[in-house]
Amino acid sequence: MFRIDFNKLRFLVCDDNPHMRRILRTLLHSFGAREVYEAEDGATALEMYSHYVPDIVIADWAMPIFDGLELAQMIRQPDSKGNPYAPIIMLTGHSEKRRITMARDAGVTEFLAKPISAKGLYLRIMSVVAHPRPFIKTKNYFGPDRRRNTTVAYIGPERRNGGEAEILQQPSLMDKARVTS
Amino acid sequence: MRSTLEKYKMSRDKTLAPKVEAFADHHIITPPNTLRRAIRRVVDRDLDDPVARAEQALAGLSGEFKSWMRSECDRLADAHAAIVKHGFNEQTRSELFRAAHDIKGDASTFGFPTAGAAAESLCRIIDHAPDLDRVPPDLIRHHIEAIQAIVREHNTIDKAGVARELSSRLRGIADDYLMHVNRDRPDHLEAIAAPSIVPAD
């Protein structure tokens, strides 16, 4: 049986809503985290990301200046001087399938639809800590491997070529987003 | 707090070179797993339950939820007032959407799920109406007034099921409107008809 030592992890929480930041801070501190930094907009979050080098980013989607999706895209710059690999958990009120796809394609690691629950947040953090996925760099994508299963029936146009790659069996981001409790 | 030396070591670890495998049209990059240090094996009988602890802490905040919800409603009313005064522009639209979107996401946590449902309906109007200036002003106003009433009269109308009925009817009217004005926009029609990933309560 495994547990996470939250006191060894540094979090950056990005949400423009002070009530949600308070809830997130309360949950993370209850899990045992000591270092929780907070930003209320995307620009401040990016600055804090460079300064504090967080282990895990928890970002809202809808934020002023630039939103959580743009924040993810700015973090996922393969040639940046900062760390482009930090797990990004998108915590959002958006609950449409197309939004999950957009978040995935922006390089988001996990998607958690509100309403928030302690269990949902804990499971996402456990997932990014215990089961990190490799990153994929193509001409138009850089981020965590978007393949989560080995469906042989897939015939879509965007298969990668050039060899076999190991695929980590995980529930799809869509299935995981449905888990709210 | 961590010492400066520890912070330095952590940031140095993060700069360790990742393993890169090159293929015909992509690279697979395996960064060093710096988070592994936070995983700890415990005995199966370990009684510590971080989720239960967090739920208890969240319950400890619940005394503040009603006042938080009221302030979210005030923010929504202010955003609506700005639209009544100045009309829709990028700033006023964005503020109304974010205020409604926050209520949609937070209301269930705060104990007002029906207010969240009405806010979701308002978000859908803002998201999918092809021209917000042509949305009947009453449609938006009724959503905002319904959210305010549900929060204000929480202890009375929620018990009677009125709040659920109100949210449900507003959603029906909004969906009928959106289906009509998007009849020539298949991508929006598909999004409007698609089920939410959040199960209905």
Helix or strand run (H / E) with residue B28: strand B27-30
Task: Name residue A13's beta-bridge partners.
Answer: A38, A58
Residues 6 or more apart whose Cβ sits within 8 Å of residue B5: none
**Higher model confidence: residue A62 or residue B156?**
A62
Reply yes or no on whether the pLDDT at B95 is more than 90.
Answer: yes
The strand pair at A88-92 and A56-59 is best described as parallel
Asked if residue A150 belongs to a domain, the reply is yes
Distance in angstroms (rounded) separating the CA atoms of residues A128 and A107: 13
Structure tokens at B49: 């339950």
For residue A136, give the CATH number of its domain. 3.40.50.2300
Q: Give yes or no for A81 touching B (CB within 8 A).
A: no
Give the start-end residues of each E strand in A87-163: 88-92, 110-113, 135-137, 142-144
Q: Which chain B residue shows the shortest CA-CA distance from A81?
A: B15
Domain ranges of chain B: 65-193
Q: pLDDT for B2-56, tens place per residue? A: 555 566 555 555 557 889 988 888 899 999 888 999 998 887 777 789 999 999 9
Structure tokens at A124: 């996402």
Structure tokens at A4: 């996470």
pTM of the complete model beyond 0.90: no
B65-193 domain in CATH 1.20.120?
Answer: yes
Q: Quick one: pLDDT at residue B149?
A: 94
Mean of the per-residue pLDDT values for chain A? 87
Asked if residue A166 belongs to a domain, the reply is yes
Domain that holds residue A115: 6-178
Q: Quick one: pLDDT at residue A43?
A: 94
Distance in angstroms (rounded) separating the CA atoms of residues B66 and B112: 9
Q: Quick one: pLDDT at residue A180?
A: 45
Q: Give yes or no for A32 touching B (CB within 8 A).
A: yes
Q: For chain A, how big is the Rg over CA atoms in Å?
A: 16
Q: Give yes or no for B111 touching A (CB within 8 A).
A: no
Asked if residue A123 belongs to a domain, the reply is yes
Distance in angstroms (rounded) separating the CA atoms of residues B185 and A67: 26
Domains in chain A: how many in total?
Answer: 1
User: Which SS3 state, helix, strand or coil, does residue B188 take?
Assistant: helix
Asked if residue A1 belongs to a domain, the reply is no
User: Dihedral of the CA atoms A131, A127, A179, B114 (nearest 10)?
Assistant: -150
Distance in angstroms (rounded) separating the CA atoms of residues A64 and B26: 34
* Burial zone of A84 (CB within 10 Å; 0-12 exposed, 13-18 middle, 19+ buried): buried
Asked if residue A142 belongs to a domain, the reply is yes
Provide, rounded to the nearest whole percent, the portion of chain B with pLDDT above 70.
Answer: 88
Q: Which chain A residue shows the shortest CA-CA distance from B100?
A: A93
Q: pLDDT for A60-115, tens place per residue? A: 998 988 899 999 999 999 888 889 999 999 999 998 888 899 999 999 999 999 99
Helix or strand run (H / E) with residue B19: strand B19-22
Helix or strand run (H / E) with residue B126: helix B113-128
Q: Quick one: pLDDT at residue A181?
A: 40
Q: pLDDT for A37-46, tens place per residue? A: 999 999 999 9
**Higher model confidence: residue B164 or residue B81?**
B81
Helix ranges, B87-112 (H): 90-106
Structure tokens at B90: 């990028």
Instruction: Taking the CA atoms of A139, A153, A156 and A70 in sequence, report the sign of the dihedral they define.
Output: negative
Q: Give yes or no for B59 touching A (CB within 8 A).
A: no
CA–CA min distance B13, chain A (Å): 11
Q: Do A83 and B14 touch (CB under 8 A)?
A: yes
